[in-house]
Amino acid sequence: MKDRVDQRLREALAAREAAGLLRKTTARPSTDTLTNLAGNDYLDLAHDPAVLIAAAEALHTWGASASASALVTGYTELHAKLEETLAAWHGYPHALLMNSGYAANGAVLGQLPKPGDVVLADRLIHASMVNGILTSGARLRRFAHNDLDALELMLVEESGRDGAIFVVTESIYSMDGDAPDLPRLTTLRARHGFVWILDEAHATGWHGSTGSGLQEEQGCRAAADVVVGTLGKALGSQGAYVLCHNPDIRETLVNLAGEFVYSTHLAPPAVAAALAAIGRTRDFSPDRPRWHNLSREWREGLSEAGFSVPSGHSPIIPIVMGDAVRVLKMAESLRSAGFLVAAIRPPTVPDGTARIRISLHRNLTENTRAGFVAALKGLNL
């Protein structure tokens, strides 16, 4: 029996390796001098002095661990303060901290839709949302990426049926760095009465005049019914949160979401780091236009060098190459040239769209951009 399991594991891994899809953990040394264009610390807050001091103070006051789930003793005044701060920042009355974005999306989408409901989801939503929807028992329909005409057609088709309609989108898509038209989604929501769940994981910090995300930037603050945000990307910490208008959504998650009920709550230093990071994010308001220009300049530089990249001003730039093995080799060569980039392969992205994903951060210099573009051009593709 055990031999059969061992053989099954070996064969599955060998098949992945042959397709260039095997994933490996690579331990990064603290002395790493590579230019990091792979992590999601877009605002360079993970090492920001104010963030480090806040985390260290919380470590001394509250300890290294929450030591229990939120419903036992893990929920402290610090956690409550972060929830209040997040809610006020985004313009929602209710917030709930979760241990990760993966858990938050699983909880929201696993608990809110029910059998008999339909979930209309963008084709490229994050795996955590797909997994949540699949556990909910609701019917899943997917519309072409950012195609709100296709969504509208589905809404018309679904109208008049029993059951609720949920629409699920990201604001900045994690592997493409592009965005849907949020004002149009807001209008569609008003017309069709669906429940809109929006993942702002990659927009928080970088977008919006106070950094609260793309809803703020596109003039539809707090339009979605439920927002999922993360603390582990631009906020330089760890964990996630759910925002909602309806208090019963928060209460439902607190009572029924296993991801919340049965898991040790966020460590206090991570909570304090996120609180300090939100303060820093607000300080950055005058700088945001410069970062957006930085994103445009990187895209222009890459296009001029012959690489096809989408336009935009988000911190994520995909260079879609197609072949997974080729993308792995590119990432290795770029590493030798001093740049750490993510080689993103299926199933994270659709088959045939393996890519180099570049994440920008606010302190990147013109020299880095020139050096990176030169290194990319020098690759033997």
Ligand X SMILES: Cc1ncc(COP(=O)(O)O)c(C=O)c1O
Q: Which residues are annotated as catalytic? A: 40, 126, 170, 174, 199, 202, 233
DSSP 200-249: -TTTTTTSSTTSS-HHHHTT-TT-SSEEEEESSSTTSS--EEEEESSHHH
Q: How many residues sit in the footprint of ligand X (CB under 6 A)?
A: 14
Residue 232: CB minimum distance to ligand X, A: 4
CA distance 55 to 64: 10
Interacting positions 113-142 with ligand X (CB under 6 A)? 126, 128
* Residue 232 in contact with ligand X, rule: CB under 6 A: yes
Q: Dig out the tokens for 138 from the structure.
A: 């609701």
Give the nearest residue (CB) to ligand X. 101
* Residue recorded with tokens 């995909």: 318
Residue 128: CB minimum distance to ligand X, A: 5
Residue 170: CB minimum distance to ligand X, A: 5
The mark string for 71-100 relative to ligand X (x by CB under 6 A, - otherwise) is: -----------------------------x
Residues 6 or more apart whose Cβ sits within 8 Å of residue 106: 128, 131, 132, 135, 257, 259
Q: How far is CA 302 from the centre of its chain?
A: 24
Residue 130: CB minimum distance to ligand X, A: 11
* Residue 176 in contact with ligand X, rule: CB under 6 A: no
The mark string for 197-226 relative to ligand X (x by CB under 6 A, - otherwise) is: --x-xx------------------------
CA distance 100 to 142: 24
CA distance 51 to 275: 8
Answer whether 227's CB lies under 8 Å from 304's CB.
Answer: no
In the bound state with ligand X, the residue whose beta carbon lies nearer, of 128 and 295, is 128
Residue 22 corresponds to which amino acid? L
* Residue 146 in contact with ligand X, rule: CB under 6 A: no
Answer whether 224's CB lies under 8 Å from 230's CB.
Answer: no
SS3 349: coil
Q: Which of 62, 92, 102, 206 binds ligand X (CB under 6 A)?
A: 102
Residue 378: CB minimum distance to ligand X, A: 30
Q: Which residues bind ligand X (CB under 6 A)?
A: 100-102, 105, 126, 128, 170, 174, 199, 201-202, 230, 232, 240
